[in-house]
Chains A and B, each alone.
Chain A
Amino acid sequence: MFGRIAFMELKTGWKGLLIFGLLVLVISAGIPLIFPTYRNSLIEELEGASKVHLELPNEQGGMITLSWETVETATSYMVLEDNRSSMVTAKLKYMGNETSITFEKDFEEKRYYAVMAVLNETSDPVLVGITATEKGEDPFQELLKNPAYAGLTGGRSISMLEVKGFVALEYYSWSWMLTGLFIAYLSVSIIASDFENKRMDVMFSAPISRRRYLLEKFTAMSFIALFIVLVQIAGLTWGLASINALNEFSANAVLLSLIGSLPLLMVTAAVGIATAVLFQKVRTGMGITFAFVFAEFFLYTFGGFSKSLEFMKTISIFKYWDYFSVIVDDLFKAGDFLVLTLVVIVLIVTTIRVFEKKDIPT
């Protein structure tokens, strides 16, 4: 009867799956819980901008006046200048006791100024505020203009002050790494370990075909992937409900956005099964499957860098899991779901064909 092998796989691996499920549950439920604290801190940071004032000249070559509110405990102030909101390449513009400086506008592009108060010699300076020569969105919106982030969001404007934006960038954008790599590991090991531990001969002494064997193993992986996705849905829903943010999502948005990841996980499982059949070694199969997952992710990321690189996105499986579309636009792309499902079918059928012709080593 079909299902015996799949059932045995689940029966022998349920403890590990349960532990992993608990980890996924805690992470899925925990991340939304961080949101209120994160939002408050971001608002505080943005409010800091009002403590810093910038007077711009009407013409190029005029003088800029930067002033800020006094911090009572400050012994001195530092002004950092950068053309990026992240301030990662900032240069020291000023250091002293004044609360206002004037300097020439000898540049055209947007500049950012961060004012820091030095309280004493032993503690780090504290941020008084950040301002820029052009008015814009909050610093995270600026950051999202980076092509790498734009690639992730599908060019959508995502606000980190909203729970949707926070969950999209702080949960969905990396959760695949947790679930995908777990599926990659399991799918390789459930077959390659049968080779390595010499269980194949006993398995194929029974009247089962190689096709049935692979299909049953794939069925077991499908149940495992579905279980993980359901745990993710439950955890995220729980977390969002705990901060009363569930109503900010349209009905079924959490469900559909994560169900959309199911074929992505199944492609990973199919690749894992294929490498296990081809190489018959857990380590080799796992290395190749992990490399596949990361390569696909980088293809997707680099594909967002410019129009000429967009073809890279097309061949990435990550293009076909557009969770932003569900969360932000309320649109579940059934076509993407079908494309990945088709890839899974092609991979599994090809793997069966290869396996039917291969020797089973002793």
Chain B
Amino acid sequence: MDQEKVIEIKNLTKMYGNHVGVKNLSLTVDKGEIMGFLGPNGAGKTTTIRSCLALLAKTAGEITIFGLDSHRDAVAIRKKTGYLPGDFGLIPSVKVRSYLKYLLSLHGCSSTKKMVSLAERLQLDLNRKTNELSKGNKLKVGIVQSLMPDEDLIIMDEPSGLDPLMQQEFYRILRQEKKHGKTVFMSSHNLAEVESVCDRVAIIRKGQLIVVENIEVLQKKTGKVLEVEFRDHFNIDEFKFKGVSNIRQDNSGLILTIHENLDNVIKALSNHQILNMNLKTYSLKQLFLKYYAEGKVDERGGA
């Protein structure tokens, strides 16, 4: 059975004069998932997100959120969406509590229970004035304001920059939101963050989608890297099996990528004296770089 789609982007194109922001991008975000959106600066992540929220006018294409047109029904969509912008300012010289209550009132909410709870979890002092906040605390205000209206969809543009402990707490909050049936669509530079919390990831380059994949499947596709250091001599041909690629010798060691048949490699290794061995899962960063190096743009438009 098809998953219920919360965000559905079809052939989105956004031009800034002659410059391409996003070109023919198609992507869906399913209900209840945390979707990561990766790409370098200028790749089109923010353009895509801001087009979804009707902050930018589309050049072409169609975006529906909760089945509603992103531009025509922008207000109705935002009634069910929390949004953390990538770069944002606060009204100066007001208390954080007063500012957040103001934003809550714009959402038509009067209960401050979730606001207070989130602030406590992120250790945000609600009595500080907005112009006295550090960059990290400003980000906390942004995170709280995006989550406090308790909407069904949470869109976050680069929510990284908290200290490590707070960042972990933030991931826990996101996972809890997911448990409560919320859908999260977040762009990030922080690959570990995406690995840590996302179910799927979309990689974008130069305004075009390269791949959309479940993270585990993606890692399986690209394999695991095995680095072995030998005490004795070895022959590189001993390790040429089906499902093994990128075999190369490095001084006294061997580096290879295993997609399947790990057993065969282990058996071959048992004939040697091993000094050191390291089996690594491809980090998302390596995946990211790998896709960039290969330039595998998914011409079908991703998902």
Contacts and interface: CB of A to CB of B under 8 A. Distances in A.
> Is the A/B pair a real complex?
yes
Interface of A: 1, 4-5, 8, 11-12, 197-209, 357-360, 362
B94 A12 contact: yes
Contacts of B85: 198, 201-202, 205
A1 B110 CA distance: 11
B141 to A, nearest CB: 9
A357 B74 CA distance: 13
Interface string B40-56: 00000010001001111
Contacts of A362: 46, 50, 86-87
* B: interface residue count bin: 35 or more
B88 A198 contact: yes
Contact of B90 (A199, A208, A209): A199
Contact of B78 (A4, A197, A198, A207): A207
A201 B106 contact: no
A203 to B, nearest CB: 8
A4 B106 contact: yes
Given A202-B83, A359-B55, A359-B57, 20 more contacts: A1-B105, A1-B108, A4-B102, A11-B94, A12-B92, A12-B94, A198-B85, A198-B88, A199-B90, A201-B50, A202-B85, A202-B103, A205-B53, A205-B84, A205-B146, A207-B75, A207-B108, A209-B74, A360-B50, A362-B87
B192 interface: no
A206 B108 CA distance: 9
B68 to A, nearest CB: 12
Contact of A207 (B76, B88, B93): B76
A202 B145 contact: yes
Contacts of B46: 362
Contact of A360 (B56, B87, B102): B56
A205 B81 contact: yes
A356 to B, nearest CB: 9
A360 to B, nearest CB: 5
19 contacts: A1-B105, A1-B108, A198-B85, A198-B87, A198-B88, A200-B55, A201-B88, A202-B83, A202-B85, A202-B142, A202-B145, A205-B81, A206-B78, A206-B103, A206-B106, A207-B76, A207-B108, A362-B86, A362-B87
B107 interface: yes
B89 A208 contact: no
A208 B75 contact: yes
B106 A208 contact: yes
A200 B90 CA distance: 10
Interface string B2-34: 000000000000000000000000000000000
B89 A198 contact: yes
A201 B142 CA distance: 11
Contact of A204 (B53, B76, B91, B105): B53
B183 to A, nearest CB: 16
B7 to A, nearest CB: 15
Contacts of A198: 85, 87-89
B81 A197 contact: no
Given A4-B106, A5-B106, A206-B106, A201 B94 contact: no
Contacts of A204: 53-55, 78
Nearest to B55: A360
B159 interface: no
Given A12-B91, A362-B87, A206 B107 contact: yes
B223 interface: no
B207 interface: no
A360 B53 CA distance: 11
Contacts of B300: none
Contacts of A12: 91-94
A4 B104 CA distance: 11
B124 to A, nearest CB: 16
Contacts of B92: 12
B301 interface: no
Question: Which of A1, A359, A360 has the most chain B CB within a 10 Å cutoff?
Answer: A359
A359 B102 CA distance: 25
Contacts of A207: 75-76, 78-79, 106-108
A273 to B, nearest CB: 18
B89 A205 contact: no
A276 to B, nearest CB: 16
Contacts of B53: 204-205
Nearest to A197: B89
B36 interface: no
B82 interface: yes
Contact of A8 (B84, B102, B146): B102
Interface in B137-195: 142, 145-146
B34 to A, nearest CB: 19
Contacts of A11: 94
List the 6 closest A-B pairs by CB distance, nearest first: A206-B106, A205-B83, A201-B85, A197-B89, A207-B78, A207-B79
